[in-house]
Structure formats: C-alpha cells, structure tokens
Copies of this chain bind each other. A is one copy, B any other.
Amino acid sequence: MIIQENDKLILITNDDGLYAAGLKTLTDVMQEFGKVVVISATESRSAMSQALTVQQPLRVKLLEENEKKMIYACSGTPTDGVKLAVNQLLGRRPDLIVSGINHGSNASASVLYSGTMAAALEGCLYGITSVGFSLNSYSSTADFSVCEKYIRMVCKMVLSEPLPQGVCLNVNIPAIKASEVKGIRVARQASGWWQEEFEKRKDPMGKTYYWLTGCFVNREPESTDTDEWAMQNGYVSVVPVTTDMTAHNFISELKTKF
C-alpha cells in the first residue's frame, strides 16, 4: 500500500477481534476517507480496559495488503495494538484512530472497562484525534448498517476540525432500524455501575469456580442529558471523553482536610 502525502491515514482497531462484524463495517466505511491500517487480535479482547502487555513480548503479523488497506494481527490488547502501530508499523502519524464498532454499549461506566474506548484514549495520549464506536447489541446477528451514516458524520467532522488535546469521542449507537434513529445527541457519561451476580459452579473435580455476570444499573435514569438516556431514547450519543481523571470540583474541599 502506497500512502501519498495528501492521503488521509486512518488506524482502525477494536476489542472484539479481527473477525468481528463491527470491525468489517467500520473498515468498509473508513476506506471512503483514506488509506486504512487495521490492527487487532485474532480473538476477542473484550473488557481489557487500557491494559498493557508487560510480562510477555508482542507478536505482529501482516495478514493482508492491497492498495487501500493493510490488516495486521497483533497478540496483545487493543492499547498494545495502537502503541505498536503508531510506533513501529505506520511509518507516519495517522490522521485519525477509530475503534470498534464494539458489539455492545460502552455508555456510562462501561467506558472504564472498554478495550474499544481504551484504544481511543491511547490515541488521545499521543495527541491523535480518536473516536470509539459501539452498537448497543450483543447479538451475533446484530445489523451494523445503522452505524454507517453516523460514522461518516462523526469522522467528517473530526477530520475537518481535530479534537482538543486529551479529548476523544465515545459514540454509542442504538440497535434500532436506521429510519427510527432520531439523530446525534451530545451527552455526558451517565452515573452508573454494574451490579455483579457471579455464577458459582463446580468443575468436574468438585472445585468451585465463578463466572462474572451482571447487569447495568443507571443511577440517574431521569436525567435527559446522559449517554444512557440518549441511546435508550433513539439517539446516537456522542460523549467527549477526557484522559484527565482528576475530580477537579473536589480539589478545594480536599485541600482543607490535610
């Protein structure tokens, strides 16, 4: 793949692995914007958050290359993949990093666990404009075509006006018919948490093990300015996400305590 000076270079990753339907949709749409490099694991790396592989080395393999795209398999986490691509593989700084389309919502507290959003946050730390996309469906037959229009809208916007340093976008798309989507709604992260209900089982040797399950609890279902509300009410939610985790509004009070 030859990248001309005026080509846009787009790095694509996800946390559901190279064979996920959401990655295919995202890769197809992004080729309208420029040359694309895809890097992901062959298997799912879901809920990896911004984990790094530090105990083992990383492996990378070029799987496919044509005039429009390159696809790499990477042994690590989504964040490892972004680091490897930006530092070792791309040869030049990408104009945009997009991650997804995730199979399942990354609204509210899920942003903290998400490998998809971690890849976008990693892009942020490098000062590269980055966006994570998620569809609110875990179904293996989910229809990702509803996302296409909104991927185009968001990417057109961020390619013309780069995001501020340290800010990426968390885009969550409702799993409804394209004709039913009411549009984009800029929102804030809803306050919520995952109520865990571990499933306790016995293995064939009689020893106990646990499967992590759980259901999401929205602490503020009445608030209409959150990502959860937007998605549940037929909007595509767009939350600006920051790499600065400081609770700024608690600093002055905390200073009085020491």
> Which residues of A are at the interface with B, using a C-beta cutoff of 8 A?
44, 46-55, 57-60, 77, 79-80, 83-84, 86-88, 109, 111-113, 118, 121, 125-127, 153, 157, 161, 164-167, 183-184, 186, 188-189, 191, 193-194, 196-198, 200-201, 207-212, 238-248, 250-251, 254-255, 257-258
Contact = CB atoms under 8 A, between A and B. Distances in A.
A246 B241 contact: yes
A240 B125 CA distance: 20
A148 to B, nearest CB: 16
A51 to B, nearest CB: 4
Kindly list the 10 A-B residue pairs having the minimum CB-CB distance in the complex, ordered from nearest. A49-B49, A242-B247, A240-B247, A49-B50, A57-B209, A47-B52, A125-B193, A188-B246, A51-B51, A240-B250
Nearest to A150: B258
B193 A255 contact: no
17 contacts: A47-B52, A47-B53, A48-B51, A49-B49, A49-B50, A49-B52, A60-B208, A79-B113, A84-B210, A87-B198, A125-B194, A186-B251, A191-B244, A240-B246, A241-B246, A242-B245, A244-B247
A250 B48 contact: no
A44 B255 CA distance: 34
Q: Which of A80, A183, A241, A245 has the most CB of B within 10 A?
A: A245
Contact of A186 (B47, B49, B254): B254
Contact of A212 (B48, B54, B165, B166): B54
B52 A113 contact: yes
B161 A257 contact: yes
A72 to B, nearest CB: 12
Given A84-B198, A167-B250, A186-B258, A212 B242 contact: no
Q: Which of A127, A183, A243 has the most CB of B within 10 A?
A: A243
A246 B249 CA distance: 13
B109 A59 contact: no
